[in-house]
Structure 1
């Protein structure tokens, strides 16, 4: 009976995670199409991604508090239901402004689903099943980038509202399974007091930083807008950290950073997230700008490499308990470095097979390393703090992703200007800029090696039992 219940829980979490990631990347290659559909310019259409990113980045650090306050079951069900509603609203948008607003609302709930599903894995599943569950959760997270560009590219050319409607049946299934299987919050659930000052600090701090790096290329690093937003963001977050470390009931338990393995896994995850975004963002640009491929063609080309990431994630899950986190992470990083280095030699006439081969290597590396990195960090903290830990992990990943896209994009255009963008050599200059971006990404990825080597040899083996509504830990 317990096994059946755990299967239902895991199925609900995996489907929910897949839906949120799918919606996150579904418009990556579809933005040019919306320019034609709503007869608008690129700066306006980009808010479909920018607004969504801001929403997910701002809400992620609050997910731990919301789970503690209302219960993870209730938060999961509410977020899935809200994602269904906002997807319907997006599908029936009557102009670009309404679509942007509904897309931002959709981002809020996508930003909650990822951390809350991760929290539930460590709170409601037995210890011996957590690695397997995390592997499936990670696989569902990478299937989104694998399938979304292909599906959304095809649907946009046929009937664009279906980009948002296609996930509705999966959302209904996830909600029903979650309602049937997830444990209801205890009547004695400890509800933290509302920390309004802390919430203002983390929301405005995150929002300011995300605004800077989302508009870094348009504004320029030394513009008044960039400097003001950067100073505001740093100021809000410094005050937030200072306050949270001094009060009894913090919005987010920052003392988790004292945990060495958690901090190291967090830093490594942030670096590899930045590396992931270089491939997700720049390789489709290369294929569309240089090879003149349509969005659906790009999605089909990148589908096979991303599916290899799912296979690699399954392999890392299978061998995690046998070899531990460190060897798998190091092997994964090796694959990523080799593949990212290969993209430093992109040419105008580089074949599509070249791109597919090295994207496959990159995705295999990410698949091998993602689950061990997350599990090394999450398994090193007490179960009752898993909500704060998952919130911190997703918050840092969201901010790292936004910052990396902003910095790499600004660097890309800086290098294009350096090489001189003449009409007769525009493609060559464009590709040289991409080569430099991947060189910078290779150097960044190398920084994850010493962080991984500093991880503990073996994660703490925890057996968790529930006694009187409390979680106890034995080593």
Structure 2
């Protein structure tokens, strides 16, 4: 019997040649619609964090309560992602993407009109439902329009807003809150969203055929709440200061529900997520690489701004400005990495990119309070950015490049679940490592580490000593982050070979020594 990978590649032999190889006008118009929607969703996520203190004052509430403005959005987003693949097959990607934009726009306008913290949280849930659909549906639209030969380059275009959003968020959010008030962080979405919706209706290819069957209702009730429970528990680690019952109980329940979904998905004909995609070795390697990269990258994304805020004593706006070299580095390599990924294979781009990220993080493992910004920190950020630009989207391309047709929607949904879930884990892990390090140095409980350190830094009599202790904690935490990036190299090296032809349909299940008739 021929290998599964080669047999499945042959199932689509010759189809790749039918796709154009250049980024032509129609594809760039589709990309413009998806990028506009991505900018809106990603920028919104980051600017809201800047406004949390203003919301506490406006609604006379506590920090624990106002945190639900971000937590409710995240949970709604996590809950809706699993059904996106089915919805794209059932209703068509253009209709689904337009619906997601509409939900996000309506939620944004209503959030801007919120009259108390309860209404704000409710409207953020509506935003999250739209936001959860936007990214996987947008990736599906782009991957289908591009075809396997162009997916690396077009995904690199999508990667620009995915990276620049978090960097621009503190700058835009700080300016809006200071000049116009917190409501404008939501009204900002209106012109961007309307532009994205107009581009979507005008340029996205018409949905000509839908292939999805009935919704796997039981699977949805297992997987969506399961993913949301895991993310809720994990996101509570920094707040709880460790693995408390408020953390492990929802995580355990969520994992149990996910395990139930996996067992059931092996036994039914049309599960919510097609787990048989993992029988394609290259897809599995790409997803494992993506999971480890999400842990490492989102962990670094938490550490870098926090380091500038605490060790450099900068404001949120100043921090956003000083992190710009990271974004500039990514913009330099993203277009080139997409082209190279299509030409030589994503693995030959991802591995050097990870090495660049490791080199940049190494700078921060050696940095101290007196390290120069222009001579040490900015070059380190720029090198990290070069690596991220060569890594983030090519990893996703490595997964989607082996898929075509109906399999693309299922694959992009899977990729987004992995990215969101493991990204949340990375943020939580690095937050707790940092909090535990600060708590150990200041001899306080883990949950109080960052608060006590911030208080000590504000005390002139203790500032010098506290600054040294905080700086040492950050350098140690960056060592952990560096180790995660190096670990990511292991599966990435197996992506070195260029993939075979794309698989146009969900990978069939193994039966009695054959693959649905392929021998």
Report the TM-score, using the length of structure 2 for normalisation: 0.84
- Asked if 1:427 is matched to 2:467, the reply is yes
Task: Report which stretch shifted further, 259-268 or 275-284.
Answer: 275-284
Q: Among residues 131, 134, 142, which one is paired with 2:163 in the alignment?
A: 142
* Deviation of 1:39 (Å): 4.2
* Deviation of 1:460 (Å): 2.1
- In 2, distance between residues paired with 1:408 and 1:28? 18
Q: Among residues 158, 165, 179, which one is paired with 2:187 in the alignment?
A: 165
- In 1, distance between residues paired with 2:333 and 2:54? 33
Q: How do 1:327-366 and structure 2 match up within 5 A?
A: 327-353=348-374, 354-366=376-388
* Deviation of 1:56 (Å): 1.9
Task: Answer yes or no: is the 8 Å Cα contact 1:272–1:366 preserved in 2.
Answer: no
The secondary structure found in structure 1 opposite 2:35 is: helix
Q: Which residue of 1 aligns with 2:509?
A: none
- Asked if 1:321 is matched to 2:356, the reply is no
* Deviation of 1:117 (Å): 0.8
* Deviation of 1:236 (Å): 0.3
- Asked if 1:284 is matched to 2:305, the reply is yes
Of the two, which has the highest radius of gyration?
2
Q: Among residues 75, 80, 86, which one is paired with 2:96 in the alignment?
A: 75
- In 1, distance between residues paired with 2:241 and 2:253? 17
* Deviation of 1:239 (Å): 0.4
Task: Answer yes or no: is the 8 Å Cα contact 1:56–1:109 preserved in 2.
Answer: yes
- 1:32/1:345 Cα in 2 relative to 1: closer, same or farther (>3 Å)? farther
Task: Answer yes or no: is the 8 Å Cα contact 2:236–2:246 preserved in 1.
Answer: no
- In 1, distance between residues paired with 2:109 and 2:469? 42
* Deviation of 1:49 (Å): 2.3
- In 2, distance between residues paired with 1:327 and 1:4? 28
Q: Which residue of 1 aligns with 2:6?
A: none
Task: Answer yes or no: is the 8 Å Cα contact 1:413–1:433 preserved in 2.
Answer: no
- Structure 2, unpaired ranges of 5+: 1-22, 444-451, 457-461, 505-519
- In 2, distance between residues paired with 1:319 and 1:196? 41
Q: How do 1:194-233 and structure 2 match up within 5 A?
A: 194-219=215-240, 221-233=242-254
Task: Answer yes or no: is the 8 Å Cα contact 1:73–1:185 preserved in 2.
Answer: yes
> Over residues 323-363 of structure 1, what are the superposed CA-to-partner deviations in whole Å (9 max), with x where a residue is unaligned?
32222111110111111222223423334433332222212
Q: Which residue of 2 aligns with 1:401?
A: 423
Q: Which residue of 1 aligns with 2:73?
A: 52
Q: Please report the RMSD computed on the Cα atoms of aligned residues, expressed in angstroms.
A: 2.3
Q: How do 1:60-459 and structure 2 match up within 5 A?
A: 60-159=81-180, 160-186=182-208, 189-219=210-240, 221-353=242-374, 354-421=376-443, 423=456, 424=462, 425-455=465-495, 457-459=497-499
The secondary structure found in structure 2 opposite 1:447 is: helix
* Deviation of 1:114 (Å): 0.5
- In 1, distance between residues paired with 2:296 and 2:170? 19
- 1:59/1:306 Cα in 2 relative to 1: closer, same or farther (>3 Å)? same
> Over residues 357-406 of structure 1, what are the superposed CA-to-partner deviations in whole Å (9 max), with x where a residue is unaligned?
22222121010112221111111123321111000100011001111112
- In 2, distance between residues paired with 1:230 and 1:44? 21
* Deviation of 1:141 (Å): 1.9
- In 1, distance between residues paired with 2:151 and 2:378? 33
Report the TM-score, using the length of structure 1 for normalisation: 0.91
- Structure 1, unpaired ranges of 5+: 465-475
Q: Which residue of 2 aligns with 1:469?
A: none
The secondary structure found in structure 1 opposite 2:271 is: coil
> Over residues 201-239 of structure 1, what are the superposed CA-to-partner deviations in whole Å (9 max), with x where a residue is unaligned?
111211221111111133354433333212211110100
Give aligned pairs, total. Answer: 463
- In 2, distance between residues paired with 1:167 and 1:258? 40
Q: Which residue of 2 aligns with 1:470?
A: none
> Over residues 19-78 of structure 1, what are the superposed CA-to-partner deviations in whole Å (9 max), with x where a residue is unaligned?
222122223444344434444432223222222222222222221112122211111001
Q: Which residue of 2 aligns with 1:14?
A: 35
- In 1, distance between residues paired with 2:156 and 2:144? 16
> Over residues 8-28 of structure 1, what are the superposed CA-to-partner deviations in whole Å (9 max), with x where a residue is unaligned?
222111211222221222234
- 1:52/1:360 Cα in 2 relative to 1: closer, same or farther (>3 Å)? farther
The secondary structure found in structure 2 opposite 1:350 is: coil
